[in-house]
Amino acid sequence: MVSDTSNIPSDTSNVLSYISVISSDTSNVLSDTSNIPSDAGNILSDISNVLLDTSNILSDTSHVLLETSNVLSDTNNLIRHQFNIIRHL
């Protein structure tokens, strides 16, 4: 009994066609994912900038609070001085 080999060319063509599709899809996936490292780097850079800006804001806030404390202390001293003046009148 002789096996039927008439479908071999068609089946081979189909296999090659599927391989071509897989190759194309793989290429598309690689192309789509090639920007991920760059995008991740940009995101990390943006996060770093936000943290730096936050640090600067906190530093500025600290200076404002220190100056506010100095103003309150000076105001307190001024009020005490005025009371002392009034008391000695």
Taking only the tens place, the pLDDT of each residue in 30-86 is 999 999 999 999 999 999 999 999 999 999 999 999 999 999 999 999 999 999 999
Could you tell me how many residues make up the chain?
A: 89
User: Nearest 5°: CA angle at 39, between 37 and 44?
Assistant: 95
Q: Of 41 and 6, which is predicted with more confidence?
A: 41
Tell which residue, 65, 46, 12, has the closest CA to residue 54.
46
Domain count across the chain: 2
Residue type, 22: I
- Residue 2, pLDDT score: 57
Considering the domain architecture, whether residues 54 and 71 belong to the same structural domain is answered as: yes
Print the domain residue range for 63. Answer: 38-89
Model pTM score: 0.62
Considering the domain architecture, whether residues 57 and 89 belong to the same structural domain is answered as: yes
The token pair that represents 71 in the structure block: 């103003």
